[in-house]
Amino acid sequence: MTPLFDSASLPPSEEPLEEGAVLLRGFAAAEVQTLLEAVSQIAMAAPFRHLVTPGGYTMSVAMTNCGRVGWVSDRGGYRYDPLNPASGTPWPAMPAAFLGLAARAAAQAGFTGYDPDACLINRYVAGAKLSLHQDRDEDDAWAPIVSVSLGLPVVFLWGGKRRADPVRRLRLESGDVVVWGGPARFVYHGVAPLRDGLHPLTGAMRINLTFRKVF
Ligand code: SIN
Ligand code: FE2
C-alpha cells in the first residue's frame, strides 16, 4: 500500500521544471472533491473506456473527455473528435470549475488567456501507466497542457525534447498541477505504473485531467 499523504495540509508551492514548465504543488487541493464530483457526472454521460492504439494495443489507462472535442485513439490513429465514438453524441460540456482552474493554473505559469477546447480525463488503477510520449495532436503548438492530479499519488516522468533525454521522476499528489507550454510544449512525459493504495476520495484510483488548446 502506498502511504497516504495529504498535500492539502501543505501550503501551495511552485517548482520550476524548465523554461515554460512548472509544477504547482497543491494548486487544486481545495477543489479536489468538487472536481471529482464533476468527473462522476461526465462519466455517467460518457463512460470511461480503454482505447486501442493504432498499433492494436489496448491502453491500461481508461479515458473519457469533456469539452468541444475529445481525444480518441483507434486502429485508424489518434485524433480530436467532436463526437464520442462510443455513442455518436457530443462530449459533455466542460464544467465552469474546470475552465476556471485551468485558466488560473496557466496564468500562474505565465500563460494568460488560456481557453482550452478539450479536457482528457484519465483513470488509473494499480499497474496502469502511460509510456513516455509528446502531446502533438493539437494545432496550437504554444498554449500549455495543464495537468491536474486527483486521488492516489503517482510518479510522473519528465523527460526532454528528445525521447532519449534523461527522465526525472516527480511524485505527484492529489491537487498537484503541472503546466507545460511555449518552449516546453513538446517535452516527453509519461506516468509510471500506479502503485496499490487507497485514497479517501477515489479509493484505488488516480484520476488525471489534462486540458489542451487544440485549435
Ligand atoms: C497525459 O500525459 O496525457 C496524462 C498525464 C497524467 O496522467 O498525469
Ligand atoms: Fe501527455
pLDDT at residue 5 greater than cutoff 70: no
Rounded to the nearest angstrom, the distance between the alpha carbon of 102 and the centre of ligand 1 is 15
pLDDT at residue 7 greater than cutoff 70: no
Span 34-46, mean pLDDT? 98
Query: Is the Cα torsion angle 30, 31, 34, 35 positive or negative in sign?
Result: negative
Q: Measure Cα distances from 60 to 72, 84, 131, 193, 203 in Å.
A: 14, 19, 10, 10, 18
Q: Cell triple for residue 170?
A: 516527480
**More confidently predicted of 6 and 72:** 72
Task: Name the residue with the closest Cα to ligand 1, atom 3.
Answer: 210
Which of 48, 189, 202, 209, when mutated, tests ligand 1's pocket best, judged by the most ligand atoms within 8 Å of its CB?
189
pLDDT at residue 183 greater than cutoff 70: yes
Domains along the sequence of the chain with CATH: 13-212 (2.60.120.590)
| pLDDT for the residue 12 | 79
Rounded to the nearest angstrom, the distance between the alpha carbon of 210 and the centre of ligand 1 is 6
* Nearest ligand 1 atom, CA 206: 7
pLDDT at residue 3 greater than cutoff 90: no
Residues ≥6 apart with Cβ < 8 Å to 140: 213, 214, 215
pTM for this structure?
0.95
| pLDDT for the residue 6 | 53
Neighbours of ion ligand 2 (CB under 5 A): 135
The C-alpha torsion from 26 through 105 and 24 to 33, rounded to 10°, is: 20
| pLDDT for the residue 97 | 97
| pLDDT for the residue 189 | 98
The percentage of residues in the chain with a pLDDT greater than 70, rounded to a whole number, is 95
Average pLDDT, the chain: 95
